[in-house]
Amino acid sequence: MQMGKVYLVGAGPGDSELITVKGMEAIKKAEVILYDRLVNPRLLDYAKADCELIYCGKLPNRHFMKQEEINRTLLEKALAGFTVVRLKGGDPSVFGRVGEEAEVLAEQNVAYEIVPGITSGIAAPLYAGIPVTHRDYAGSFAMVTAHDKSKNGKPDIDWEGLARGVQTIAFYMGVSNLEHICENLIFHGKAPDTPVIVIRWGTWSRQESVVGTLSSIVEKVREGNIENPAITLVGDIVATREKIKWFEKKPLFGQQLLYVRGCAEEESFAHEYLNQGADVIEFPKWEVNKGSLDVKVRKKLPAYKRMLFMSTEAATNFFKLLKSYKIDIRQLQARLFCKQSTTIKLLEDKGFLSGLADELDSEGSLLIIGSNDHSEKNWKLDYKYGEHDYAGVYQASIDKRYESIIRRSIEDASISAILFSTSDSVHTFMKQAAHYGVALQSFAQTTDIICLNKQAWLTATNYGLNPRMQDENNKLYVEDFSQNSKNLIVSSKTY
């Protein structure tokens, strides 16, 4: 058996788009991924459908997998011939124990690569509006762990060197030892009025920042109930924050949205909310497996005058099936239509022009291409599109690998709004909520329920969820949950 290979990959600090290109390529080809708690679960969406996902994250009061078990698992999977990715938050070499893991692999002659990542000690301050160096404030920068192997858990470091020789200091996971840090920096020469900022959940929409000085920050952090994960930045550079902070000005900063998809065919607009600064948890995750093309449909392919793709997955799997059946795409004579705009882009990339389903006329035979268990009943399709043939080219089901991931994401978040785009999404939520640890009564008291169309609103109302719907201008508002105490536009897109 050929030995596998291990990629020790830095996932970045939280924002899923901060991963490197090389890191993303490793995820896409992985057969096994071991991932930490602070890795954004959205990165796992890029893994193969059959990739094994192993959680080995740590919480403040317990470990899911000890380091020795992680090392052993990396070895076992690689020796079994798998391509393995060890996905670590931030950069793997900055307090990420990558050296220990690489040593174990090297001792057993297992091939491996180390892929750097963006470290939170730089990224979190930048997302809070603070560069760690600046010609007017700081020409030196240090990264320091706030925990080490000392018996009492207090960092045993060169305090005098830090206090007198370094202008900007980033302490990792330092909340529990903050008082110890401040006392030692002051004792060894730092001025008590030296600016300090503690940044929790840096680069996420849930990011919180508390600003003070070495003499005041401990009390302010206690008052704000700030806990790890957090970066503590010490230095005059903190003064730049008010001028150049940018992330917190995004319209949906501070919003943590639960975006419900009722079936795989529903187009996801989660990326739009992410771009506006929100954290988005998609619920549930859907698994798509390739189906087949009926023999009768295959024989009629050249004769169809119109084809309607119900989803991007339908288009993707349709062309995969053509390839597997060795059907030349030049046989297709039909005009192509899509229910989703993203499918139009996919077809353009394949060299096909297409239009939206609203532009579909009634001239010529029609083939509708969707899932085997399409959410719209046959009579609805007949009513909408008239006589047609139907090809179910993929099978969709809830991806069980993500159940524990979604539960942990919901536990870590403070959900400000739940978004429903279809009736199916409401039904799915009501059936699955308890399974994912969502207590409906508590959510109803603290969470906005927003429906993107009337059908979803009616279904949610029938369940007694007290939903709100977009206004006449197709705008949605999240009320009372903004950290800026004002209404924020969630989306101006017509669904």
DSSP 407-461: HHHHHHS---EEEE-SHHHHHHHHHHTGGGT--HHHHHHH-EEEESSHHHHHHHH
Residues 18, 71, single domain; the answer is: yes
Please indicate whether residue 58 is annotated as part of the active site. Answer: yes
Residues 372, 420, single domain; the answer is: no
Structural domain contains residue 142: yes
Q: What angle do CA 178, 65, 156 make, to 5 degrees?
A: 30
H helices, E strands: number in the chain: 17, 25
Please count the other Cβ atoms lying within 10 Å of the Cβ belonging to residue 325: 12
Structural domain contains residue 193: yes
Q: Which of 24, 65, 173, 469 is catalytic?
A: 173
Helix (H, G, I), strand (E, B) or coil at 220: helix
> Rounded to whole angstroms, how far apart are CA atoms 4 and 421?
43
Sheet with 111-115: list strands edge to edge: 52-55, 32-35, 83-88, 5-10, 111-115
Domain count, the chain: 4
Helix (H, G, I), strand (E, B) or coil at 74: helix
- Final residue belonging to a domain, choices 398, 431, 458: 398
User: How many alpha carbons fall within 13 Å on the CB side of residue 465?
Assistant: 28
pLDDT band, very low/low/confident/very high, at 489 (cuts 50, 70, 90): very low
Residues 242, 303, single domain; the answer is: no
User: How many alpha carbons fall within 13 Å on the CB side of residue 428?
Assistant: 25
Q: Are 352 and 376 in contact (CB under 8 A)?
A: no
Structural domain contains residue 185: yes
Q: Where are the beta strands (DSSP E) in 146-276?
A: 168-172, 195-200, 208-213, 230-234, 256-260
Q: Which of 15, 36, 279, 448 is catalytic?
A: 36
> Rounded to whole angstroms, how far apart are CA atoms 190 and 232?
15
In angstroms, how far is the first alpha carbon of the chain from the final one?
51
Strands 448-451 and 468-469: parallel
Residue 495 confidence (pLDDT) above 90: no
Q: 90's torsion region: left (phi>0), alpha (psi -120 to 50) or beta?
A: left
For residue 166, what is the domain's CATH number? 3.30.950.10
Please indicate whether residue 173 is annotated as part of the active site. Answer: yes
Q: Which of 22, 58, 154, 250 is catalytic?
A: 58
Residue in 315, 308, 312 with CA at minimum distance from that of residue 362: 308
Q: What are phi and psi of 34, to 5 degrees?
A: -105, 120
Residue 269 confidence (pLDDT) above 80: yes
Residues 261, 335, single domain; the answer is: no
Structural domain contains residue 26: yes
- Final residue belonging to a domain, choices 332, 366, 398: 398
Please indicate whether residue 486 is annotated as part of the active site. Answer: no
For residue 307, what is the domain's CATH number? 3.40.50.10090
Sign of the alpha-carbon dihedral angle for 39, 42, 45, 50:
positive
165-179, 242-256, 468-482: lowest mean pLDDT where? 468-482
**pLDDT digits over 35-69, tens only?**
998 999 999 999 998 999 999 976 555 557 889 99
Residues 406, 270, single domain; the answer is: yes
- Final residue belonging to a domain, choices 247, 272, 300: 247
Structural domain contains residue 494: no
For residue 22, what is the domain's CATH number? 3.40.1010.10
Q: Are 86 and 8 in contact (CB under 8 A)?
A: yes
What's the whole-number mean pLDDT along residues 307-327?
93
Residues 455, 426, single domain; the answer is: yes
Whose tokens are 């799915």? That residue is 428
Residue 492 confidence (pLDDT) above 50: no
Q: Are 372 and 394 in contact (CB under 8 A)?
A: yes
Domain hosting 340: range is 288-398
Please state the pTM of the whole predicted model: 0.84
Greatest Cα pair distance, the chain, in angstroms, is 84
Q: What was the pLDDT predicted at 378?
A: 64
**pLDDT digits over 332-355, tens only?**
999 999 998 889 999 999 899 999
> Rounded to whole angstroms, how far apart are CA atoms 89 and 97?
11
> Rounded to whole angstroms, how far apart are CA atoms 87 and 12?
10
Structural domain contains residue 495: no
> Rounded to whole angstroms, how far apart are CA atoms 370 and 429?
22
Please count the other Cβ atoms lying within 10 Å of the Cβ belonging to residue 265: 26
Residues 134, 109, single domain; the answer is: no
Residue in 397, 357, 392, 363 with CA at minimum distance from that of residue 378: 392
Q: Cα 78 vs. chain centroid, distance in angstroms?
A: 27
Residue in 67, 65, 45 with CA at minimum distance from that of residue 57: 65
Residues 19, 82, single domain; the answer is: yes
Q: Are 33 and 85 in contact (CB under 8 A)?
A: yes
Residues 235, 217, single domain; the answer is: yes
Residues 280, 306, single domain; the answer is: no
Q: What was the pLDDT predicted at 383?
A: 80
- Helix (H), strand (E) at residue 477: strand 477-478
**pLDDT digits over 214-256, tens only?**
999 999 999 999 999 999 999 999 999 999 999 999 999 999 9
pLDDT band, very low/low/confident/very high, at 291 (cuts 50, 70, 90): confident
Residues 130, 96, single domain; the answer is: no
Residues 9, 97, single domain; the answer is: yes
Q: What was the pLDDT predicted at 466?
A: 87
Residue 20 confidence (pLDDT) above 50: yes
**pLDDT digits over 131-170, tens only?**
999 999 999 999 999 876 666 667 778 999 999 999 999 9
